Amino acid sequence: MGGARAAERLLRSAVLAPASGPVLLHAVRVLLDAGHPHRAALWCAKLRPRAQSAVWAAAFGALGAEALLQLGELAGAECEAGRALEAAGGRPGGLYLWPAAVRAEALIALGRWEEAAAGLGAPLPQARWAAVPWWRARGRLHLAAHRYQDALEVFRVTGRLALRHGAGRLPHLPWRGDVAEALLGLGRAGAARALLAEELALPALGPRHRAGALRLLAATDEAGRRPHTLACAIGELRRCGDRAELARAMADLARALDVLGDSCAAGFGRRAGDLAAECGLPLAAPAAP
């Protein structure tokens, strides 16, 4: 929390100029990774129009879109990422790949897979650190289509890139959770559980990433323990305000309680449905083509 407070003090006192752009962008990233996407989105909305170049307008737009995505404001995230792509001028490179990836993730969550696939089309970017968000979005598209082996191969690429370049260049990337989700789809619950335990043991893991790992971990639990693990995930999600992920966790909890014959299942199911509708999230969507 101290890092978030220091970041906000810096944002209040600094003047946006070409030289201060990297520092301010990093400060907003600190807010986002500390579980404050609402504040991060507000700062990006304030800084983007004041950017003195298309480069920084695109960067603050991409980060703002990421913040909206983490709030479950999927349509807003898709729109803001599209504006960042326009500011980037459609030129290949890291500045283009970042908002392209955020836009694709929003479209995948909304169930608009064909549009997402079009935005992630060939040629494939080189395997470098700036391409990591793009590769991860491509893996999420494979998951949506239930192509678990393809997703596993892509997420292993992102994991290698994150390990190689993560120190100081990338925000925390939950590649272990991504790999675990693909492994769960392949029926390899034991291997998935081991990776999720590694993820949850990381120091200073933000609430959103912790919640995601806990939600997946619950799928590897015995039926009687699953509601407790999901309740822990829900608590983390309420801290960081991710309504889309909260809807998924509540839907999982409703199913877990129903298996146990708990009468609370219906209530959690209704709340999950309400949240999903607010976000435009198709909880029970068919697989992508």
Assess whether pLDDT exceeds 70 at residue 237.
Answer: yes
Looking at residue 139, its pLDDT comes to 95
Question: Which contacts (CB < 8 Å, 24+ apart) does range 211-214 have?
Answer: 211/236, 211/237, 211/240, 211/242, 211/245, 211/249, 212/174, 212/177, 212/245, 213/174, 213/176, 213/177, 213/180
Task: Decide: helix, strand or coil at residue 56.
Answer: helix
- The Cα–Cα gap between 5 and 16 comes to 19
pLDDT tens for 38-85 read 999 999 999 988 887 888 889 999 999 999 999 999 999 999 999 999
Question: In the chain, how many H helices and how many E strands?
Answer: 15, 0
Looking at residue 90, its pLDDT comes to 63
- The Cα–Cα gap between 269 and 281 comes to 14
Is 155 within 8 Å of 139 (Cβ atoms)?
A: yes
Reading the block at residue 237, the tokens are 């999600």
How confident is the model over 251-273, as a mean pLDDT?
96
Is 54 within 8 Å of 89 (Cβ atoms)?
A: yes
Looking at residue 285, its pLDDT comes to 41
Question: Which contacts (CB < 8 Å, 24+ apart) does range 114-120 have?
Answer: 114/289, 116/141, 117/141, 117/288
- Name, in order, each residue with C-beta under 8 angstroms of 63's C-beta and a sequence gap of 6 or more: 25, 28, 29, 32, 40, 44
Assess whether pLDDT exceeds 80 at residue 208.
Answer: yes
pLDDT bracket for residue 173 (50, 70, 90)? confident
Is 133 within 8 Å of 119 (Cβ atoms)?
A: no
pLDDT tens for 65-77 read 999 999 999 999 9
Q: Identify which of 185, 187, 190, 156 has the alpha carbon closest to the alpha carbon of residue 173.
A: 156
Assess whether pLDDT exceeds 70 at residue 260.
Answer: yes
Provide the whole-model pTM: 0.89
Average pLDDT, the chain: 88
